[in-house]
A and B are shown apart, each in its own frame.
Chain A
Amino acid sequence: MREIQAAEITKAVRDLCIDANCNLGEDVLAAYDRAIEKDESPVAREVLRELKENARIARDEQSPICQDTGIAVLFVEVGQDAHVVGGDLKTAIDEGVRRGYGEGYLRKSACNPFTRANTKDNTPAVIHFDIVPGDRIRIVVVPKGGGAENMSRVDMLSPSAGLEGIKEFVVKRIEASGSNPCPPTVVGVGIGGTFERSAILAKKALTRRIGERNADPELAGVETDVLSRINSLGIGPMGYGGNTTALDVFFEVEPCHIASLPVAVNVQCHAMRHKETIL
Chain B
Amino acid sequence: MAEIKLKTPLTDQDVEKLEIGDRVLLTGVIYTGRDAAHKRLFDLIETGKELPVDIRGQVIYYVGPAPARPGKPIGSAGPTTSYRMDAFAPKLMELGLKGMIGKGNRGANVIEAMKKFKAVYFGATGGAGALLARSIRKAETVAYEDLGPEAIQRLEVEDFPVVVINDTKGNDLYVEGAKKYRKP
Listed in ascending order, the chain A residues whose CB lies under 8 Å from chain B are 40-41, 43-44, 47, 50-51, 53-55, 57-58, 61, 63-69, 105-109, 116, 118, 120, 145-147, 150, 178-182, 232-236, 238-243, 269-271
Query: With A67-B75, A107-B64, A238-B125 given, is the CB distance from A182 to B103 under 8 Å?
Result: yes
Which among A58, A107, A271 has the highest number of chain B CB atoms within 10 Å? A107
Chain A residues lying within 8 Å of B123, measured Cβ to Cβ, are 179, 238-240
Q: Is B183 an interface residue (CB 8 A)?
A: yes
**Shortest beta-carbon distance, A143 to chain B, in Å?**
12
Give the A-B contact count at a CB cut-off of 8 A. 173
Q: Is B147 an interface residue (CB 8 A)?
A: yes
Q: Is B49 an interface residue (CB 8 A)?
A: no
Contact A271 B127 (CB under 8 A): yes
List 8 additional contacts besides A55-B130, A147-B126, A271-B127; criterion CB under 8 Å: A51-B128, A65-B76, A67-B75, A69-B66, A106-B67, A107-B75, A236-B181, A238-B126
**Shortest beta-carbon distance, B157 to chain A, in Å?**
15
Bound Cα distance A53, B1 (Å): 22
Bound Cα distance A269, B125 (Å): 12
Bound Cα distance A235, B1 (Å): 18
Bound Cα distance A238, B21 (Å): 12
Q: B34-71: contact bitstring with A at CB < 8 Å (1 yes, 0 no)? A: 01100000000000000000000000000111111100
Chain B residues lying within 8 Å of A109, measured Cβ to Cβ, are 64, 149
**Shortest beta-carbon distance, A108 to chain B, in Å?**
7
Contact A57 B173 (CB under 8 A): no
Q: B119-132: contact bitstring with A at CB < 8 Å (1 yes, 0 no)? A: 00001011111111
Q: Is B17 an interface residue (CB 8 A)?
A: no
Contact B177 A239 (CB under 8 A): yes
Listed in ascending order, the chain B residues whose CB lies under 8 Å from chain A are 1, 21, 35-36, 63-69, 75-78, 80-81, 83, 103-105, 123, 125-134, 147-150, 163, 173-174, 176-184
Contact B21 A57 (CB under 8 A): no
**Shortest beta-carbon distance, B141 to chain A, in Å?**
14
Contact B149 A147 (CB under 8 A): no
Contact A66 B127 (CB under 8 A): yes
Bound Cα distance A145, B127 (Å): 10
Contact A232 B177 (CB under 8 A): no
**Residue of A at shortest CB range from B39?**
A116
Bound Cα distance A51, B132 (Å): 11
Query: With A67-B64, A182-B126, A232-B182 given, is the CB distance from A53 to B69 under 8 Å?
Result: no
Contact B129 A66 (CB under 8 A): yes
Contact A234 B177 (CB under 8 A): yes
**Residue of A at shortest CB range from B149?**
A107
Query: With A43-B21, A108-B148 given, is the CB distance from A242 to B177 under 8 Å?
Result: yes
Bound Cα distance A30, B65 (Å): 27
Query: With A58-B130, A116-B35, A118-B149 given, is the CB distance from A64 to B76 under 8 Å?
Result: yes
Contact A147 B131 (CB under 8 A): no
Chain B residues lying within 8 Å of A241, measured Cβ to Cβ, are 173, 176-181
- Selected contact of A234 from candidates B103, B125, B178, CB within 8 Å: B178
- Selected contact of B148 from candidates A43, A106, A118, CB within 8 Å: A118
Bound Cα distance A108, B150 (Å): 10
Chain B residues lying within 8 Å of A120, measured Cβ to Cβ, are 148
Chain B residues lying within 8 Å of A54, measured Cβ to Cβ, are 125, 127-132
Chain B residues lying within 8 Å of A68, measured Cβ to Cβ, are 64, 78, 80, 129
A-B contact pairs, 23 of them (CB 8 A): A64-B75, A65-B130, A66-B76, A66-B128, A67-B64, A105-B67, A108-B148, A180-B103, A180-B105, A182-B127, A232-B184, A234-B177, A234-B180, A234-B182, A235-B174, A239-B104, A239-B174, A240-B123, A240-B177, A241-B177, A241-B181, A242-B177, A269-B126
Bound Cα distance A33, B149 (Å): 33
